[in-house]
Structure 1
């Protein structure tokens, strides 16, 4: 006699990846629905900022692992007693889902279904590949503000997470940031780089210029060469003198120099240099009155004089060690939107630059939103998509994983009602893309200058960052040229691609890349292509003329919700949807395709709602991270 759905629910082994906003809702739903054998993986610990939406956590839980506390709460909610059936009853695994020693393919094979509650592309790709290898269904969900979506992935039946290209964060050309800003975001990016130039490892800043270079900017010496030594514990007078000198070089001398060279001839708005001497006239050595601490200081736009005051206060704080790391002239001083001092500096510096170029200035609060590209998570949206995940889970248990394509749906959670008055819009799942290198083993084409690009750069920038390999093994023909973690191959890292052993990598070479941790093998074909040093496309292209995400047209967008944080900041994390990086904050909400019509959208739940992006070949703005080939 066939087991009832209730029996299947009680017997099913479920893995939840992520125990944050969506993860808490998932565990509550699973416990209330009668699921008994649930295991949870999460890397993060509970922070005070989580408490407003991750309702399984309380103040006394701050600092504890999310998965541990969430599993304890789920046990208390469950109608079953864990004492009667303790094996597999809400088990917590505090760690990174990418840790192959703990969570490899064999670990995943223990489960009937995997449910994701992740917040970044890298971890999602990894889980996608493990589920494909283990041949188990994966249920995906993500949110951004009021928008969300849920989908189901089953190898050989549906699109995998990487079957469709994803838009990446917009990259602004360096020349625009340095010389011709036209939007607030240009000035804020510049402010972030100035923060590194003044307080961090100066060579890491894109504003840094080599001493031997020609046409060196006038601000290099006052800002970098005159940086004060931390051990000197400079006097307030010395700090004030340095601040005025740096600001004058940045906003007066350098701007006047550029104007004198007719750099802005023909520009719509001609910049006007600041009179820093006049703006900073009210500053007094040792007197710190940061406008950020005044009433409503973070929500109002500071005047230019207040911006100068704020920067002087920050210089004083950094050099006296009150809020700075041990060594302020190191790479440890990097911009972080959640670092109050760094964000105060970027707000003040970007506003001074914006007013020079007649660009709208912003409050601290608004600047932080732009700098971090944040859309706050909304607990209600998390609850909706988590509920959808559990409904799809029950469909799979009732009908079996072989019927995923027939019974499961891709569901949009919309902010505005459809014509029929619905806020949830289900659409059919799509079959695998024949050009996907992950689930269909399609060949990848990489265009790069093999004469100058090193193996180390290729592994770090292409294989690991763009293609999400964990521990790649590289072969040319039958000869192995690199294996991650093996010392005997380290000598090859500094070599250019064409000078590698076994004939090297040149135009037309096929490289075989394996990753046993992900049970993947990919063939990469190389095309020799030279790039200019300041090429906006970067120094390599992946995939050439391949399908790209469609740009929204006539106010109609196609896409899903975003839920990935900055990859630079949390590339290795596997939390949930705390703070969301938005690729196009002005994009319209997703519009489901008409019934029976194939959607032209990105599959997965980590990209901006409606935020399409053309390929680099078309726009020079970026390369999609999922590679699809013609």
Structure 2
């Protein structure tokens, strides 16, 4: 008898013939076919799942290939969902994998009725808004959701059962079992024998707080809700990356990430992107462009709220004083007919002149943002009471041992040969590299100031020459080597300006692409945990065995690798799944509502 009870408990239940049949016939929706999604699809079919649909909007990029093992170089540019489905079916032909290359937030394709087709939904998404959207769909469709995420060596898997939630398979079985009893129920008022409170009609039953009833097509049926409600994905507020004060980026950076954001959103956007990244404001820079980084594998370095709030007033005073000085200098420049403290060869205009050579343009921009702007900021004494004033980086400074003419003479042959090679062959434009042309092949080595300067000049000139037709509409792409090198070099030069530690190209590229470099092993572990929780749900073991599991990074090999825990109950004040409500009073005498 003890052995029989043991076989009905988790994890022994998963090995039963009945459970294997449930797994085989279960309908599973996977949202996301990236780092977690590839591992998840593989683990699902290896665990016996055969009916799977997968949704992903993205296409495959070169940077995906080191960890998303279902993809190869020949797949770059192709749909992740479709390619992953094809790869899975190549080694598991018996699996039915339906791929959707689309946005899960597209309600014309993926509405509540679509979610209701599945027994469980498994999320491997990297976008917070999309995760919230799937959470709400599952709540309305009454389908269990298994959430996940990774960040380097860290990861988590959480299970979410909405109020009175259950799997679609249970719904079908119960409907068949209770079909006979439904015939005797009649209509109108119902007795407690059917689990419905006195006074509830068939139409009202869906609003009843009792656990049993569910109204469907004008009749009632008794429902055994196996999955207890847990908190939804949105019960606990998720941290949102904070923006940087613009005055900090423009005038007083104090960490490498400030320099990266300035180089990507302000400088690169201003030189090669569209309007909106204006460097012509005080300090030489203006409001940055939009950060286009995804949430997949994000950088964890964000500006602290305390720093933003505490420095706001001081930053406003600095900006006001700087603007006053800028206006005075601009007025003086206008009267004198030239730019203050700047030679006529380096005017304020950031656009490239029609007859201006690419290297001359790059040299002029360098002199403006790393020399002139820095020298002018350093003269505002009140800005430097808490940190050392910045130092200018001149092409003729001892640290570089270069002059504008010498830099142009040294780099011109490299510029011409690299541009000619890119034009003469079918070279992927994203693979053109200024660093390689300069012999800087180690992306894990920190460039010297001179090397960073040469990379900046050559990459800026190459973009201006090789991609002249794209200038004005370019967006930063972490897989674009020239763009990444230009931003990394600019960030390191600016870091030198402000006495900040310089970083390697690998580190800077990751920060610019909002990346915490993903680890394939973490994705594999998390995908395994997702499938374990899915099997618990399908075998009716989730009520007692469901766990939220957090993958940790023990220090010095000591401590636990996993931190499992029971799912928390729904928060009563959650505006999504709880009873929180907002009462809005409208004065109809002053307001009119239009449908």
TM-score computed with the length of structure 2 as normaliser: 0.66
Cα 1:59–1:208 change in 2 (3 A) is same
Per the TM alignment, residue 158 of structure 1 is displaced from its structure 2 partner at its CA by 0.9
The correspondence for 1:305, drawn from 443, 447, 450, is: 450
Matched, 1:427 2:565: yes
Cα 1:418–1:284 change in 2 (3 A) is closer
Cα 1:476–1:100 change in 2 (3 A) is farther
The correspondence for 2:30, drawn from 16, 20, 25, is: 16
User: What secondary structure is seen at the aligned counterpart in 1 of 2:326?
Assistant: coil
Per the TM alignment, residue 427 of structure 1 is displaced from its structure 2 partner at its CA by 0.5
2:537 and 2:499 mapped to 1: Cα distance? Answer: 57
8 Å Cα contact 1:248/1:277 also seen in 2? no
Matched residue, 1:346: 487
Per the TM alignment, residue 268 of structure 1 is displaced from its structure 2 partner at its CA by 3.4
Per the TM alignment, residue 387 of structure 1 is displaced from its structure 2 partner at its CA by 1.2
Matched, 1:45 2:59: yes
5 Å-filtered alignment, 1:99-110, equals 99-110=106-117
8 Å Cα contact 1:148/1:413 also seen in 2? yes
Number of positions where the alignment pairs a residue of Structure 1 with one of Structure 2: 435
Matched, 1:132 2:139: yes
Per the TM alignment, residue 413 of structure 1 is displaced from its structure 2 partner at its CA by 1.6
Matched residue, 2:377: 258
The C-alpha deviation readout for 1:393-451, integer Å capped at 9, x for no partner, is: 11111117xxx453311011222289996422210100112222111253579xxxxxx
2:274 and 2:348 mapped to 1: Cα distance? Answer: 10
5 Å-filtered alignment, 1:505-584, equals none
1:226 and 1:274 mapped to 2: Cα distance? Answer: 18
1:59 and 1:372 mapped to 2: Cα distance? Answer: 20
1:421 and 1:299 mapped to 2: Cα distance? Answer: 31
1:106 and 1:20 mapped to 2: Cα distance? Answer: 25
Matched, 1:284 2:403: no
User: What secondary structure is seen at the aligned counterpart in 2 of 1:315?
Assistant: helix
1:60 and 1:306 mapped to 2: Cα distance? Answer: 34
User: What secondary structure is seen at the aligned counterpart in 1 of 2:126?
Assistant: coil
Matched residue, 2:551: 413
Per the TM alignment, residue 265 of structure 1 is displaced from its structure 2 partner at its CA by 4.3
Matched, 1:246 2:357: no
User: What secondary structure is seen at the aligned counterpart in 1 of 2:535?
Assistant: helix
8 Å Cα contact 1:271/1:357 also seen in 2? yes
Matched, 1:328 2:401: no
8 Å Cα contact 1:405/1:429 also seen in 2? no
Larger C-alpha radius of gyration, 1 or 2? 2
Per the TM alignment, residue 95 of structure 1 is displaced from its structure 2 partner at its CA by 1.4
8 Å Cα contact 1:41/1:97 also seen in 2? yes
Cα 1:411–1:288 change in 2 (3 A) is same
Per the TM alignment, residue 155 of structure 1 is displaced from its structure 2 partner at its CA by 0.8
Superposed CA RMSD in Å reads 3.4
Per the TM alignment, residue 298 of structure 1 is displaced from its structure 2 partner at its CA by 3.1
Cα 1:311–1:409 change in 2 (3 A) is same
The correspondence for 2:534, drawn from 374, 377, 393, is: 393
1:180 and 1:422 mapped to 2: Cα distance? Answer: 41
1:287 and 1:63 mapped to 2: Cα distance? Answer: 33
The correspondence for 1:272, drawn from 361, 383, 391, is: 391
2:563 and 2:85 mapped to 1: Cα distance? Answer: 31
Matched residue, 2:79: 65
Matched residue, 1:185: 257
User: What secondary structure is seen at the aligned counterpart in 2 of 1:374?
Assistant: coil
Structure 2 unaligned blocks of 5 or more: 1-15, 164-228, 287-322, 334-338, 340-345, 416-433
5 Å-filtered alignment, 1:99-248, equals 99-156=106-163, 157-192=229-264, 193-205=266-278, 208=281, 215-216=325-326, 222=346, 225=349, 227-229=351-353, 232=354, 234-236=355-357, 239-248=358-367
User: What secondary structure is seen at the aligned counterpart in 2 of 1:8?
Assistant: helix
The correspondence for 2:574, drawn from 412, 436, 440, is: 436
8 Å Cα contact 2:231/2:570 also seen in 1? yes
The C-alpha deviation readout for 1:566-599, integer Å capped at 9, x for no partner, is: xxxxxxxxxxxxxxxxxxxxxxxxxxxxxxxxxx
8 Å Cα contact 1:251/1:353 also seen in 2? yes
Cα 1:144–1:136 change in 2 (3 A) is same
Identify, as 1 or 2, the structure richer in strand: 1
1:384 and 1:138 mapped to 2: Cα distance? Answer: 18
8 Å Cα contact 1:292/1:298 also seen in 2? no
5 Å-filtered alignment, 1:373-392, equals 373-392=514-533
If asked which structure has higher relative contact order (CA below 8 Å, sep 6+), I would say: 1
User: What secondary structure is seen at the aligned counterpart in 2 of 1:270?
Assistant: coil
Cα 1:165–1:245 change in 2 (3 A) is same
Cα 1:196–1:216 change in 2 (3 A) is farther
User: What secondary structure is seen at the aligned counterpart in 1 of 2:488?
Assistant: helix
Cα 1:127–1:333 change in 2 (3 A) is same
8 Å Cα contact 2:26/2:49 also seen in 1? yes
The C-alpha deviation readout for 1:485-530, integer Å capped at 9, x for no partner, is: xxxxxxxxxxxxxxxx9649xxxxxx99x9xxxxxxxxxxxxxxxx
8 Å Cα contact 2:55/2:103 also seen in 1? yes
Cα 1:391–1:259 change in 2 (3 A) is closer
Per the TM alignment, residue 12 of structure 1 is displaced from its structure 2 partner at its CA by 1.6
Per the TM alignment, residue 305 of structure 1 is displaced from its structure 2 partner at its CA by 2.9
User: What secondary structure is seen at the aligned counterpart in 1 of 2:496?
Assistant: helix
1:183 and 1:284 mapped to 2: Cα distance? Answer: 31
Per the TM alignment, residue 478 of structure 1 is displaced from its structure 2 partner at its CA by 11
User: What secondary structure is seen at the aligned counterpart in 2 of 1:190?
Assistant: helix
Matched, 1:372 2:513: yes
Cα 1:398–1:380 change in 2 (3 A) is same
Structure 1 unaligned blocks of 5 or more: 83-88, 446-474, 480-500, 505-510, 515-630
The C-alpha deviation readout for 1:23-58, integer Å capped at 9, x for no partner, is: 222222222222222211122233444333333334
8 Å Cα contact 2:33/2:55 also seen in 1? yes
TM-score computed with the length of structure 1 as normaliser: 0.62
1:205 and 1:442 mapped to 2: Cα distance? Answer: 43
User: What secondary structure is seen at the aligned counterpart in 1 of 2:158?
Assistant: strand
2:260 and 2:236 mapped to 1: Cα distance? Answer: 31
2:582 and 2:537 mapped to 1: Cα distance? Answer: 33
